[in-house]
């Protein structure tokens, strides 16, 4: 299997620009009717979306993707729409290729059985080696709480659940790093290395492990993401020049970070679907009103893929500063330049274009701005 995987990945690396593959996903979820199923996948660093409606429990997707893409399926049981369904609902994540995948369940995606995909089998072997994935850990913790509703206000009980949760997270990080070290030719080696590469404290360890990966593995979408995180770590040093970028605003006008020289600017990465991002916006509005006449600006970079949802959120929140996006979702070119692996993410830049601080939010941001504008 590993030899075959290596051959396939080598071919993909040589022909990535021209080679696409046909995929099919067939599903049967009980006898549900009228429920929407949402498909999202990454291929060649770009996000793609599709949706369909269950009829007597069946659904079907087909399309084009390059080999070994990251896929998310979400079943909307309550008719609340894509964004809610895909962020905390009945969701499954897996990796897929030019194959047919069959999904079967009595009631949900979370309880589904998968068959027909060699890539999914490889993914299952990876999960078995490292333990529950982050979304599985969340489900386990939620199930522990749901099993004892009478104890939800018991501090000792909730602390116990929290300790178990964080232990599972820590174990996953350790197991992932070990998998990346011991499986350098596996497609899932860069997947396993992601958490280490996304952490400034461990990114240099990730760099050394990444160097042991074969060129074919390094050339995958996930391999490229690891490389970008490593490169961003060295670019984004406090006191160094913040990487200059240009993207377009809703009117189609190019906006460059370079045009903000002489201002203190907060580069803010967000998205309409990101609840923590939107929870922070009232604070940004307050700080912007307080300091904009003293030389403070905000430049928000949206990781949305839907123009309509992006602009609707901007209007709803009353965000009166510049907004830019390339509408490539999490593959936004500026986000990749800045090594953004999760949002909200912020980068505070001084009047000379140098990086002051990263990931300041809430009271931490307020204190820093008060310090900068005290005179």
Question: DSSP assignment of 87-132, as one string?
Answer: TTSEEEEEEE-SSEEEEEESS-STT-EEES-HHHHHHHHHHHHH--
Q: What is the per-residue pLDDT for 4?
A: 34
Whose tokens are 């240099």? That residue is 204
Is residue 361 pLDDT above 70, yes or no? yes
Full DSSP string of 122-137: HHHHHHHHH---HHHH
Q: Which residue has the tokens 């820093």?
A: 368
Q: Got the DSSP string for 304-326? A: -S-HHHHHHHHHHHT--SEEE--
Q: Smallest Cα–Cα separation from 243: which of 251, 44, 233?
A: 233
pLDDT above 90 covers a percentage of the chain that reads 60
Sorted by sequence, the CB contacts under 8 Å of residue 262 that are 6+ apart come out as 295, 351
Q: How confident is the model at residue 103 (pLDDT cuts 50, 70, 90)?
A: very high
Please tell me the distance from the alpha carbon of residue 217 to that of residue 227, in angstroms, as a whole number. 11
For 156, 161, 162, the CA distances from 152, given in Å and listed in that order, are 10, 10, 12
Residue 66 has pLDDT above 90, yes or no: no
- pLDDT at residue 5 in the model: 37
Going along the chain from its start, the domains and CATH numbers come out as 18-124 (2.60.40), 144-235 (no CATH), 246-372 (3.40.30.10)
pLDDT in tens, 117-139: 888 888 889 999 999 888 788 88
Q: Is a pLDDT exceeding 90 seen at residue 317?
A: yes
Q: Return the biggest CA–CA distance within the chain.
A: 67
Q: Residue 7: what pLDDT?
A: 31
94 CB neighbour count, 10 Å cutoff: 20
Q: Please tell me what DSSP assigns to residue 354.
A: B
Higher per-residue pLDDT: 85 or 103: 103
Q: Could you report the per-residue pLDDT of 136-195, keeping only the tens digit for each?
A: 888 889 889 989 889 888 899 999 999 999 999 999 999 999 999 999 999 899 999 999
Are the CB atoms for 316 and 273 separated by under 8 Å? no
| Per-residue exposure over 36-65, b if at least 16 CB sit within 10 Å of its own CB, e if not | bbbbbbbbeeebbeeeeebeebebebeeeb
What average pLDDT does the chain have?
87
pLDDT of residue 29: 95
Distance (Å, whole) CA 235 – CA 228: 10
Name the pTM for this structure. 0.69
Name the token pair of 60. Answer: 């079907």
CA dist., res. 111 & res. 164, Å (int): 23
Tell me which of 51-60, 61-70, 125-134, 203-212 is least confident.
61-70
pLDDT of 17 higher than 50: no
Q: Taking Cα atoms as reference points, which of 285, 216, 257, 295 lies closest to residue 14? A: 216
Q: Once rounded to an integer, what is the mean pLDDT over residues 247-264? A: 94
Rounded Cα distance between 143 and 133, Å, is 15
What tokens does 345 get? 């993410």
In angstroms, the CA 357 to CA 80 distance is 37
Q: What percent of the chain has pLDDT over 70?
A: 92
What CA–CA distance (Å, rounded) separates 229 from 74?
28
- Picking from 42-46, 276-280, 338-342, 361-365, which range would have the lowest pLDDT averaged per residue? 42-46
DSSP code string of 217-269 = HHTSHHHHHHHHHHHHHHH--TTSBPPP-EEE-TTS-EEEGGGGTTSEEEEEE
Asked if residue 344 has a cis previous peptide bond (ω within 30° of 0), the answer is: yes
* Residue 252: Cβ-neighbour burial (10 angstroms; 0-12, 13-18, 19+): exposed
């Amino acid at each position: 299997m590993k030899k075959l995987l290596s051959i396939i990945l080598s071919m993909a690396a040589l022909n990535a620009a021209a080679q696409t593959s046909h995929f099919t996903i067939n599903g049967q979820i009980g006898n549900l009717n009228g429920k929407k199923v949402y498909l999202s996948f990454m291929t060649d660093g770009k996000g793609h979306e599709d949706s369909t409606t269950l009829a007597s429990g069946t659904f079907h997707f087909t399309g084009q993707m390059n080999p070994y893409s990251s896929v998310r399926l979400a079943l909307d049981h309550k008719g609340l729409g894509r964004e809610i369904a895909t962020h905390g609902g009945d969701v499954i994540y897996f990796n897929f290729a030019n194959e047919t995948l069959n999904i079967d369940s009595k009631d949900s995606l979370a309880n589904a059985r998968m068959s027909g995909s060699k890539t999914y089998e490889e993914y299952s072997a990876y999960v078995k080696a490292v333990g529950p994935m982050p979304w599985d850990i969340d489900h386990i913790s939620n199930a522990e709480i749901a099993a004892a509703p009478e104890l939800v206000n018991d501090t000792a009980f909730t602390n116990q659940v929290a300790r178990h949760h964080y232990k599972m997270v820590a174990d996953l990080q350790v197991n992932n790093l070990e998998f990346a070290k011991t499986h350098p030719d596996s497609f899932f080696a860069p997947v396993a290395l992601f958490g280490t590469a996304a952490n400034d404290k461990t990114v240099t360890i990730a760099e050394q492990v990444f160097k042991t990966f074969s060129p074919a593995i390094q050339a995958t979408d996930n391999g490229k993401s690891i490389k970008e995180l490593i490169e961003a770590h060295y670019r984004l040093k406090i006191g160094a020049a913040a990487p200059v970028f240009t993207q377009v605003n809703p009117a189609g006008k190019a906006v460059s970070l370079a045009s903000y020289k002489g201002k203190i600017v907060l580069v803010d990465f967000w998205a309409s679907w990101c609840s923590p991002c939107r929870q922070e916006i009232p604070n940004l509005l307050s700080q912007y009103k307080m300091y904009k006449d003293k030389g403070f600006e905000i430049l928000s970079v949206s990781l949305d893929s839907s123009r309509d949802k992006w602009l609707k959120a901007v209007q709803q929140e009353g965000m009166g500063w510049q907004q830019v996006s390339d509408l490539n979702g999490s593959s936004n070119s500026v986000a990749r330049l800045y090594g953004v692996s999760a949002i909200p993410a912020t980068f505070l830049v001084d009047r000379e274009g140098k990086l002051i601080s990263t990931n300041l939010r809430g009271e931490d941001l307020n204190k820093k701005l008060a310090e900068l504008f005290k005179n």
